[in-house]
A and B are shown apart, each in its own frame.
Chain A
Amino acid sequence: QKEVEQDPGPLSVPEGAIVSLNCTYSNSAFQYFMWYRQYSRKGPELLMYTYSSGNKEDGRFTAQVDKSSKYISLFIRDSQPSDSATYLCAMTEPGPKKLSFGAGTTVTVRA
């Protein structure tokens, strides 16, 4: 079983829709939770990160962490065609520990 599970999609939504992405994990020691956006033929770009449980909002993006369920989510409001990309979740334990990544979900926002 993978340490981090992420549905690869693909996910296709109309412009303006809410995009909902999620990951589940098995390691209860994870404390930092990240979302990366990766455009085709580019490197991953950090969107936002959250420490421990709770919500974090940045513009149209909201990240949620539910440690009791070992479940994290990313919501994209008012989605735009420029949001079309692969979204990767990642997480790590405190201290000098490596990141564990999900496989990524490919999202297409149709104009």
Chain B
Amino acid sequence: LAKTTQPISMDSYEGQEVNITCSHNNIATNDYITWYQQFPSQGPRFIIQGYKTKVTNEVASLFIPADRKSSTLSLPRVSLSDTAVYYCLVGDKNNFNKFYFGSGTKLNVKP
């Protein structure tokens, strides 16, 4: 199964760069890797999506090695408002209609 593995939690301080890695050993060949952010009492929202190498947008960067068995979400210079839970999502290599949300990484940004 294309299970995903993420750290349960991370602590950081304002202004630091934060890297959150998701392992997905059995990712589907043609599928994207997508990351979502969830604040308390809200639905998750899309942050960034990529297929390989590096993707950058105004919010984050996503690093994907050549074997695509993991991905790293990078948040530059975090602020208190980045305190949230971050999830990765990938499709299953063996089942077209299957996908897996990671268990989520709770990021706590301290002043």
Check if A and B associate: no
Q: Which residues of A contact B (CB under 8 A)?
A: none
